[in-house]
């Protein structure tokens, strides 16, 4: 306990009950951090804040101006930002030839542009009034599909890969300020977003590809984020694949998923 004592953490994308952002926020608070949760839904944030004691500040990650306002408020009220986690996400599977401009724009605005805006603002906040070498930790929640294939997620995969490369740039450029920037890449994870698509047999199709025999949980993500946020982490520009070994193999194909769902529905 106390690994983040005295740290101030901003966590973007903590609006839906039980999602990665909320799991990370809880874990950080258990280790002594003052946690500010943010995202688009005021209601979701305020419910979480009432339950946990976190501080809720709504913000749209697709708006650089809103992220700047968020950072300015945290700096004014808490004196600085030590940890910044971007867990904002959007899922929109589509066949490659059928993906619409609206779907592509939504994905790029949240994942690519939002990720860039978040890092631009947070490195500025971490540099402000800091001696060189003190810095902070930026963590972007990416996805295993930035590195391995998955059917029907072309724009999502491309946006996540772009986010990863931008994170490495920040690590390269801002290490001299003591700022670490790393990537946390889950495999398929039980989250509220998965619930929008989950059907009997879907999880089982993925579990067969995981060497450790199960898919990722939000607790797995939170524990990895804790290490990345702590002073114990002497790493930057790196990708943590929290996937139970999925990247040693592959995601199941769409046909395999459909077959697993069909078999489960018949059982």
pLDDT at 161: 97
User: Is the pLDDT confidence value at 198 over 80?
Assistant: no
pLDDT at 32: 98
Q: Give the percent of the chain with pLDDT over 90.
A: 84
Separation CA 20–CA 72 (nearest Å): 24
Average pLDDT rounded to a whole number, residues 172-177 = 95
The CATH number fitting domain 8-197+214-251, selected from 3.40.50.720, 1.10.630.10, 1.10.3720.10, 2.40.30.10: 3.40.50.720
Q: pLDDT tens-digit profile of 12-26?
A: 999 999 999 999 999
- State the DSSP code for 265: H
Q: pLDDT tens-digit profile of 112-122?
A: 999 999 999 99
Average pLDDT rounded to a whole number, residues 81-85 = 97
Q: pLDDT tens-digit profile of 207-219?
A: 999 999 999 999 9
How would residue 200 be classed by pLDDT, with cut points 50, 70 and 90?
confident
Question: What residues are paired with 83 via a beta bridge?
Answer: 9, 137
Question: What residues are paired with 181 via a beta bridge?
Answer: 138
Q: Tell me whether residue 80 is exposed, middle or buried, using C-beta atoms within 10 angstroms of its C-beta: 0 to 12, 13 to 18, 19 or more.
A: middle
Strands of 83-86's sheet, edge to edge? 55-56, 34-38, 8-12, 83-86, 136-141, 179-186, 239-242
Which of the residues are catalytic?
156
Question: What residues are paired with 38 via a beta bridge?
Answer: 12
Q: Give the DSSP H or E segment for 192.
A: helix 192-195
Separation CA 168–CA 163 (nearest Å): 9
pLDDT at 221: 97
Reference 131, options 189, 188, 176, 79; nearest CA is 176
pLDDT at 267: 76
DSSP for 34-74, written as a single string: EEEEE-S-HHHHHHHHHHH-PEE----TT-HHHHHHHHHHH
pLDDT at 134: 67
Which residue is it, tokens 């902070």?
136
* Mean model confidence pLDDT for the chain: 93
Radius of gyration of the chain (CA): 18
Q: What is the pTM for the complete model shown?
A: 0.94
Residue boundaries of the structural domains of the chain? 8-197+214-251
pLDDT at 84: 98
User: Is the pLDDT confidence value at 93 over 90?
Assistant: no
């Amino acid at each position: 306990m106390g690994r983040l004592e005295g740290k101030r953490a901003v966590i973007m994308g903590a609006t839906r009950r039980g999602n990665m952002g909320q799991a990370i926020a809880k874990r950080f608070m258990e280790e002594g951090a003052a946690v500010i949760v943010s995202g688009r839904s005021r209601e979701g944030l305020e419910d979480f804040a009432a339950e946990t004691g976190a501080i809720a500040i709504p913000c749209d990650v697709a708006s650089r101006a809103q992220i700047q306002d968020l950072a300015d408020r945290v700096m004014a009220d808490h004196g600085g930002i030590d940890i910044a986690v971007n867990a904002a996400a959007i899922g929109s599977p589509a066949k490659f030839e059928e993906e619409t401009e609206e779907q592509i724009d939504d994905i790029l605005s949240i994942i690519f542009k939002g990720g860039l805006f978040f890092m631009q603002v947070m490195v500025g906040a971490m540099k402000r009034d800091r001696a060189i070498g003190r810095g902070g930790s930026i963590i972007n929640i990416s996805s295993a599909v930035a590195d391995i294939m998955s059917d029907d997620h072309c724009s999502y995969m491309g946006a996540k890969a772009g986010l990863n490369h931008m994170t490495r740039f920040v690590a390269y450029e801002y290490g001299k300020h003591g700022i670490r920037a790393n990537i946390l890449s889950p495999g398929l994870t039980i989250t509220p977003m998965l619930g929008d698509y989950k059907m009997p047999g879907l999880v089982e199709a993925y579990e067969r590809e995981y060497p450790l025999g199960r898919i990722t949980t939000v607790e797995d993500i939170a524990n990895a984020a804790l290490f990345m946020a702590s002073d114990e982490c002497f790493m930057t520009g790196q990708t943590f694949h929290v996937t139970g070994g999925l990247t040693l193999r592959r995601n199941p194909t769409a046909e395999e998923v459909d077959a697993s769902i069909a078999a489960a529905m018949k059982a």
